[in-house]
Amino acid sequence: MGQLTQPSPVKLIIGLLGQNQEILEETRKHLAVLYGKEEEILSAIPFIWTNYYEQEIGTSPVRSFIAYENLIPRMSIVDIKRKTNELENKLCKKGLRPVNIDPGYMTLGQFFLATTKDQRQRVYLGKGIFLEVTLFFKDGNFHPFNWTYRDYQSDKYLTYFLKVRSKLAYQLRNGRPYSQRKARSL
């Protein structure tokens, strides 16, 4: 029989899809109050993968990701997703969302996204929140599943997630964030 253990804490990563750079910056300020210091940011890039969000967010949305310095317990993703949904509603203008906020977390072996929508590959966690394993790590790279959103398969995203994974590995190994590493002497 296996021993019951607590899993390692995980790295919170939040994806932002917004009308423009300004709404991303405004959203980041709100998120910093909730989740602390930003550790790794993927600067805004054009979101060209689908027109699904066109009605609310417009025809030229931009995508950004933020990884936070503080590690979180895995199950806290439920409350984080609920809180980011509240923030989306708070930022609504004339009933439309100017930004879509997608929280997820990274382990050394996977990247997960939280959602309110049920699908065959998603697991219900509670309080209306499901979790989907979106990417898996193997042979030095992240890899998609057949259900992984196309943008999450792009080189820019995968390169970003590798940077975050490296910082997570450092933090788990050393017990402190990557930003607090000691400089090497020459």
Name which of 24-28, 59-63, 94-98 the model is least confident about: 94-98
**Which residue has tokens 């806290």?**
76
Residues with Cβ < 8 Å from 48, sequence gap 6 or more? none
Instruction: Let me know: does 36 contact 68? Beta carbons within 8 Å.
Output: yes
Beta strands 99-106 and 10-18 are antiparallel
Could you tell me which CATH class the domain 10-174 is placed in?
alpha beta
End-to-end, the C-alpha distance of the chain in Å comes to 50
pTM: 0.95
Strongest mean pLDDT among 25-34, 42-51, 176-185: 25-34
Decide if pLDDT at 8 tops 80.
Answer: yes
Determine if residue 159 is left, alpha or beta; phi over 0 gives left, psi from -120 to 50 gives alpha, anything else beta. alpha
User: What would the mean pLDDT of 95-110 be, rounded to a whole number?
Assistant: 96
Write out pLDDT tens, residues 59-87.
999 999 999 999 999 999 999 999 999 99
Domain ranges for the chain: 10-174
What is residue 182's predicted lDDT score, i.e. its pLDDT?
A: 76
